[in-house]
Chain A
């Protein structure tokens, strides 16, 4: 109960204060802005309702991008981690490259990808994949190699093959680690989608925010932001639930 009550209460206080500050014009004065640019929570809620079909349409586009990009990152991350775990050659070859891939500033990369992949879904998926791949791979690899060496010895004397040790011991050991990485990744996947959409603003909530900010439709931009964070929280919650159902021994 307290787990839900406390953050909700805090958020309610914050929104209330925002509402007061915005409707009295104090916030606009403080930020030195015209008052019609400063959206109050009530205006955002109104815009959320009035533009519901437009927002839903774009949210669906963004959600699809997130799911496809994230799904590819999970597949690639888990495969890469397993390959690096099983083969030292693979690990030595790719470990520095994988770390290097994280030093690429995505904001700079995004326009280049758009030139390369065109204005479609391609560059957006690449960006999501690129930023999600890292936490999943690193955490899964950590998990696979965190097996107690004594357990491996014990399994060997119980006639386990390399594959059986992987399946019966290493993969279950790595599961909680994988989920930690996967939960971090899903939160940033949404950010990745928005970054991609800003570089190639066709459709999606990121593109909508980009257009609305240019046209000073601040309320609707904030409504889109609210949907984005709800999306990230829901995806995170789904993963946390899956973890609790699968990793029952913790």
Chain B
């Protein structure tokens, strides 16, 4: 599997999928959660949770505030070990293995202000020992593809919120991990920019499919971007409902979210969320 190859090979491979997805990329990695429980001291945040996500599946996690969605994401990404149960990403069960398979995009863009946009995006390559020039030229191709051409040398402070979020997403994508863990990636943006970014992300994932776990507050966002959406209950988090997104979806976001089938599913989700919050 791609994840098992040594670093230089992985970097070599990555140069490929920029133009066309390599066979290893299309393998992806599935996420499987069995009997998961997690607590901080006395506080149980997650209880007996089971989830299956096929390779290249896009799963939305919605739930009331403070229900442990972000914790779940960190558990999947291998940033924490669960108190009970098992999280398997690809073939990895241990935290270190999961960490190697997942790239994490936090709520805020967290771009490093001392690096230019392109150097921020290329961080993962630099961390793997790719020289600056090589890392930049790999990132440059993605800047063009994702509508950021011309902003390579911009400082993060000079970019708009939407632009910063795009750079943050590219940074996650360039890591070349089969699984992306996105924690409310667009929560800090205004409604119009958020809509644009959702459409942009849908396009990006079409072009470069990955297994995605997306945590969000926004049911519409989840149903528009994801294949299936899991509604979690209030703390401790349990699955209340799993919904499939209406297919086929219009690629235009405004058309997709006003489709009658979409509206029906959204109502179901809203109801599940209200019941779970009690």
Contacts and interface: CB of A to CB of B under 8 A. Distances in A.
A169 B79 contact: no
A202 B120 CA distance: 55
A159 interface: yes
Interface stretch (A48-56, A111-119, A145-153, A187-195): A145-153
B181 A168 contact: no
Contact of B99 (A156, A168, A169, A248): A156
Interface stretch (B124-132, B141-149, B251-259): B124-132
A151 B74 CA distance: 13
Interface residues of A, number: 18
Interface stretch (B102-110, B212-220, B265-273): B102-110
A146 to B, nearest CB: 14
Contacts of B105: 154
Given A158-B123, A159-B128, A169 B112 contact: yes
A172 interface: yes
Contact of A158 (B79, B113, B171, B181): B171
Nearest to B110: A151
A159 B110 contact: no
A155 B103 contact: no
A14 B42 CA distance: 66
Tier of interface size on chain B = 20 to 34
A153 B106 contact: yes
B123 to A, nearest CB: 5
A168 B113 contact: no
A155 B74 contact: no
Contacts of B112: 151, 168-169, 172
Contact of B114 (A150, A151, A159, A249): A249
Interface of B: 74, 77-79, 99-100, 102-108, 110, 112-114, 123-124, 126-128, 155, 157, 171, 175, 177, 181
Interface of A: 148, 150-151, 153-161, 164, 168-169, 172, 248-249
